[in-house]
């Protein structure tokens, strides 16, 4: 790929990632925010493709877009009154979150511009060699962090289900004799 086409691809993928990310944090409807995550995650997969990290493209599409995004949408649908127009959909701490994000952006920019970046002329290996190297690293050097992240995600999923279940009032049930019991 020529440098000019690479620049066009990078700018296009940046727009495809950043603009939906802004919509994720600025939209008032949580379900719409979840839907805005789709093009954002597709843009990240595009960055992996631009970097010729073929395995991560597939992982990004299958796991993050196919599984995590569906899980987030499922959790949003379980949330009570998420689509109720009478319920407040904004966070009162939005201004503070913006200030903290702005300070983080300034600190990151300071660190990035202070560091001397050198160009890399080597290209990554073929897809098979990348996948083999990643697999070996995951079961040797990074086995413990990988498993810790798995357990943390499982705990978050279980906690989300418990919280969603505890927020719903018990449903009234009708017995055999026609008597209503519960809620």
Q: What is the pLDDT of residue 135?
A: 85
Q: What is the pLDDT of residue 82?
A: 63
- Alpha carbon 179 to chain centroid, angstroms: 47
Q: What is the pLDDT of residue 83?
A: 62
Q: What is the pLDDT of residue 74?
A: 78
Asked if 24 contacts 48 with a C-beta cutoff of 8 angstroms, the reply is no
Sign of CA dihedral 154, 73, 64, 26: negative
Minimal CA–CA distance to 78: which of 177, 174, 159, 183?
159
Burial 102-140 (b: 16+ CB within 10 A, else e): eeeeeeeeeeeeeeeeeeeeeeeeeeeebbeeeeeeeee
Which residues does 55 contact at the CB level (< 8 Å), separation at least 6?
A: 127, 130, 131, 134
Q: What is the C-alpha separation between 31 and 86, in angstroms, rounded?
A: 15
The token pair that represents 56 in the structure block: 């991560």
Q: What is the pLDDT of residue 178?
A: 59
Minimal CA–CA distance to 29: which of 69, 81, 70, 96?
81
Per-domain residue ranges of the chain: 1-82, 127-168
Q: What is the pLDDT of residue 168?
A: 58
Asked if 157 contacts 146 with a C-beta cutoff of 8 angstroms, the reply is no
Q: Does the domain at residues 1-82 carry the CATH identifier 3.30.450.40?
A: no
Minimal CA–CA distance to 71: which of 165, 166, 168, 160?
160
Q: What is the pLDDT of residue 130?
A: 82
The token pair that represents 151 in the structure block: 């357990």
Burial 42-63 (b: 16+ CB within 10 A, else e): bbbbbbbbeeebbbbbeebbee
Q: Could you list the pLDDT tens digit for every one of the 183 residues in the chain?
A: 577 888 999 999 999 999 999 998 888 777 788 889 999 999 999 999 998 888 889 888 988 888 888 888 777 777 666 666 676 666 677 788 889 999 999 999 999 999 887 777 777 778 788 888 888 988 899 999 889 988 998 898 888 778 777 665 655 555 556 565 555
């Amino acid at each position: 790929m020529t440098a000019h086409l690479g620049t066009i691809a990078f700018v296009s993928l940046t727009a495809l990632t950043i603009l939906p990310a802004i919509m994720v944090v600025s939209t008032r409807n949580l379900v719409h925010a979840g839907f805005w995550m789709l093009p954002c995650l597709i843009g990240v997969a595009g960055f992996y493709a631009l970097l010729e990290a073929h395995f991560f493209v597939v992982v990004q599409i299958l796991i993050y877009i196919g599984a995590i995004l569906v899980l987030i949408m499922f959790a949003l649908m379980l949330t009570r009154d998420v689509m109720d127009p009478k319920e407040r959909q904004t966070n009162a701490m939005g201004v503070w979150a913006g200030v903290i994000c702005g300070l983080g952006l300034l600190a990151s920019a300071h660190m990035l511009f202070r560091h001397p970046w050198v160009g890399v002329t080597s290209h990554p290996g073929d897809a098979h060699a990348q996948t083999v190297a990643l697999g070996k690293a995951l079961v040797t050097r990074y086995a413990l962090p990988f498993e810790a992240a798995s357990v943390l995600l499982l705990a978050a999923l279980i906690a989300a289900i418990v919280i969603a279940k505890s927020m719903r009032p018990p449903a009234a049930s009708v017995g055999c004799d026609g008597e209503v019991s519960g809620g």
